[in-house]
Amino acid sequence: MLKLTGRRAVGALAVAIAVIGSVAFAGAGTGMAATKSLTLAYSCPFPLIGTQDMTVRITVADLADSAVVGRPVPPTRVTAIATVPSSATLGLRLVGATTVEGTAVASTAVDNAGAVQNVVANLVVAKTNIPASGSFNTIATGGTAPVTFTRAGTTTVNVGAFSTTLTPRRPDGSLTGLGTFTSACTLKANQNTLLHTFTVSAA
């Protein structure tokens, strides 16, 4: 029997763990996970200042590169960085707001070989300081639930609209005159919304 010591033993153990891990992952019915990003422009209605254009950088991690019919793919992790325009900053400052926080619900259309399902990502918008002027970024993080596919074939993931519920606050933490409001943001026309493409195989 061959004995391994020191670094060789550690290396052999690492290889064994990697092999076991890859077998377990393959058994779950998904391929290697992918991370994809997309920047899109939205129209978002705001109190006081009306509808404003806003860009959002969406990054989705743990996307399956392949899947098998009837076997759920793992949840994904979503990060959305929204650039709030200077006009919105002005409106928030006018009501005395110095921070903003909230939640968001983002929709994604998953076309599984012709069977389309709406997959929702539930996000939390981190508490963010509002500058005295100019644009600023908010960061929302969260994810989607596992998804199961019913058809074999090419499957696409397209990013859709989102709704965000925001609470601006004064320096002492109290609400402004805006209270908590919801903004339903829609995609601006003529954009490439395709985030990811992969293949679902028959069971």
Q: How far apart are CA 142 and CA 61, in angstroms?
A: 11
CB neighbours of 29 closer than 8 A, spacing ≥ 6?
Answer: 67, 68, 70, 71, 72, 73
Cβ distance 30 to 70 under 8 Å?
no
Confidence of residue 33 (pLDDT cuts 50, 70, 90): confident
CA triple 178-169-166, angle to 5 deg: 60
Q: How far apart are CA 40 and CA 190, in angstroms?
A: 10
The pairing of beta strand 115-129 with beta strand 99-112: antiparallel
- Average pLDDT, integer, range 180-196: 98
The tens digit of pLDDT for each residue in 142-158 reads 999 999 999 999 999 99
**Is a pLDDT exceeding 60 seen at residue 18?**
no
12: pLDDT strictly greater than 70: no
Query: What is the pairing mode between strands 66-68 and 194-201?
Result: parallel
| Distance, CA of 8 to CA of 108 (rounded, Å) | 47
The yes-or-no verdict on residue 164 having pLDDT over 60 is yes
d(Cα 184, Cα 60) in Å, to the nearest integer? 21
Is the backbone of residue 190 left (phi > 0), alpha (psi -120 to 50) or beta? Answer: left
Given a cut of 60, whether residue 94 has pLDDT beyond it is yes
Backbone angles phi, psi at 113, to 5 degrees: 50, 40
